Amino acid sequence: MKNVLLCIGIILSINLLLGCASNMNLKDKYKDYFPLGAAVNAATITSSEDLLKTHFKSLTAENEMKPESIHPRLGKWQFYGADEIADFARDNNMLMRGHTFVWHQQMPGWFFSSMGGPVDRELLLERVKEHMEVMAERYNDVVYAWDVVNEAISDEKEEYLRPSPFLKIIGEDYIDLAFHMAHEIMPEAKLFYNDYSVLDPVKQDKIYKLLSDMIDRGVPVDGIGLQGHWDIYYPEAHILEEAIERFAGLGLDIHITELDVSFFKFSDRDSRYKEPPPSLLKMQNERYDSIFEVLRRNHDKVQAVTFWGVADYSTWLDHFPVKGRKNWPLLFDVDQNPKPAFDSVMDFR
């Protein structure tokens, strides 16, 4: 009897240990909520290989799938960076979010010109279509969602659509047309409108109008991407939760597409630190905690969450908005070890 009890005890402890071990990584811990992803580039895909395999279920190419990178000159396609990332995703059974087709930045100059002058509406639409066809053909097996249009809404209070070559050359229907084309070319893919400052009330109203009008017109938009470039002071949980409820009310999927939590307010161009101050690390920990608490509670409405980077050794926030100012916005530190924020994101039942 004693031996039987001892055996049962040992088996239970082993199971408990195995259970804990498999829950020590993000992707297993969140498997009943949403896939957690990371933006990667040609360098981080190698330098963070282990971290990516252990913790993440989805990848986004930070730059490699943008038109400027992949189609830098007329007729010259440059697939190697995107291929490397897509192959990594395929080999490791990961999902990919495609980023991005129609954006006012990181487009190659040739896209908007023809025979020494500006391109006309028809040719520009033809170029967008060709671009989508080539990308779909090459990556459709691994990319399940595309940011079809990125950042089309203006930050100016009185202005609706952001001035861009697409708006100027094609006209206001360029967003609808991009979604119709994408749907025709890749009917299986989830099609997203992606933007920043979606929690800002004025900008949110404009984005809401854009999406609800598109839905009324029968435009095939599946979801909204909230970029999620936030900071240790913002957003409050209720603001995030209200936005999620509002957009889910339109029947849209919601992805957090570019999550990071900066040490600095966007307006703060002065502060800088050699090391992350413990008091601010604590604030970051609390912010991540409150963001993820909302996201988990709304996992019926939020289908994916992607960090804009893997670990603090490589982040766009080291270059923006202040060039050369070190920032520590992610869950893993510069040595790729888990930070307090990692523990708080993992700390739930």
**Residues contributing to the site for ligand GLA (CB under 6 A):** 99, 150, 196, 227, 258, 316
Question: What count of other Cβ atoms lies within 10 Å of the Cβ of residue 269?
Answer: 11
Active site residue 258: yes
CA distance 265 to 149: 27
Asked if 109 and 159 count as a contact pair (C-beta separation under 8 A), the reply is no
Q: How far is the CB of 24 from ligand GLA (least distance, A)?
A: 29
Residue least distant from ligand GLA (Cβ): 316
Q: What is the dihedral of CA 256, 259, 261, 267, to 10 degrees?
A: -90
* Residue closer to ligand GLA, measured from CB, 227 or 344: 227
Q: How far is the CB of 218 from ligand GLA (least distance, A)?
A: 27
* Residue closer to ligand GLA, measured from CB, 33 or 332: 332
* Residue closer to ligand GLA, measured from CB, 25 or 69: 69
Question: Based on the number of CB atoms within 10 Å of its own CB, is 210 exposed (0-12), middle (13-18) or buried (19 or more)?
Answer: buried
Residue 131's H or E segment, with its range, is: helix 121-139
CA distance 160 to 149: 15
* Residue closer to ligand GLA, measured from CB, 61 or 136: 61
CA distance 71 to 69: 6
> What radius of gyration, in Å, describes the C-alpha atoms of the chain?
22
**Which of 130, 241, 242, 258 does the annotation list as catalytic?**
258
Q: How far is the CB of 225 from ligand GLA (least distance, A)?
A: 9
φ, ψ of residue 160 to 5 degrees: the values are: -90, -75
* Residue closer to ligand GLA, measured from CB, 150 or 285: 150
Q: Quickly tell me which residue has 């404009």 as its tokens.
A: 206
Within the chain, strands assigned E span 36-40, 58-61, 95-102, 113-114, 117-118, 143-150, 190-195, 223-226, 229-231, 253-262, 302-307
* Residue closer to ligand GLA, measured from CB, 33 or 131: 131
CA distance 342 to 137: 37
Q: How far is the CB of 266 from ligand GLA (least distance, A)?
A: 13
CA distance 124 to 207: 24
**Which of 64, 151, 158, 242 does the annotation list as catalytic?**
151
| Local structure of residue 120 (DSSP, 8 states) | P
CA distance 332 to 55: 11
* Residue closer to ligand GLA, measured from CB, 284 or 315: 315
Q: How far is the CB of 213 from ligand GLA (least distance, A)?
A: 22
Q: How far is the CB of 143 from ligand GLA (least distance, A)?
A: 15
Active site residue 151: yes
Q: How far is the CB of 256 from ligand GLA (least distance, A)?
A: 12
Residues known to be catalytic: 151, 258
